[in-house]
Amino acid sequence: MGSEVGMEELRKRVETRREALAARMRAALEEHAFTNRALFPPRQLAEFARQEAEAFLAFLSDGDEGVVRERGRALAQQGLSHRSVLALVQALQEVGWESANPEVELWPSLQGAIGRYTRAFLEGYMVAREESILEQQEKTRQALLRALQREGQ
């Protein structure tokens, strides 16, 4: 992990591309809007993209992976699809690369920060998804069993 000064420099660079980052994330989310679940309303995608861009900038300020993990978990519970997540990661990398240019020596540090952010986000996201699937499987099993028992009586 880079020094605090390094992170702050990176934040300032990405800050100059804040609007572009939000716009690119919005486009990515819209492209995959049909893969999300209904609790993730299409009309809120622009606001969500803005929040996601802010979340990354906040991470560049404080480096708090726990907050990012929690965000991944919350968004999985809200119904953000894995396709949307992958599209967001790609948008982040593209805008990150543009932010580093032309001083390409910044790119390894920024790439490292994007990697840590993505890993923490995915950890939270995947844990929540797995919990949800297991919970739903158990509900399915119990519902089917009880329905069969009831019908068999």
Closer to another protein by Cβ: residue 16 or 137:
137
CA–CA distances in Å: residue 79 to residues 1, 36, 96: 31, 6, 26
**Which of 1, 27, 2, 7 is closest to 95 using CA atoms?**
27
Taking the complex as a whole, the smallest distance from the CB of residue 96 to another protein amounts, in Å, to 26
Minimum distance, C-beta of residue 145 to another protein, in the bound complex (Å): 8
Q: Hunting for tokens 């609007």 — which residue is that? A: 19
Q: Write out the residues near another protein by the rule CB under 8 A.
A: 30-31, 33-35, 37-39, 41-43, 79, 81, 132-133, 136-137, 139-140, 142-144, 146-148, 150-152
| Closer of 101 and 132 to another protein (Cβ) | 132
CB nearer to another protein: pick between 44 and 61: 44
> 3-state class of 45 per DSSP?
helix
Q: Are 92 and 121 in contact (CB under 8 A)?
A: no
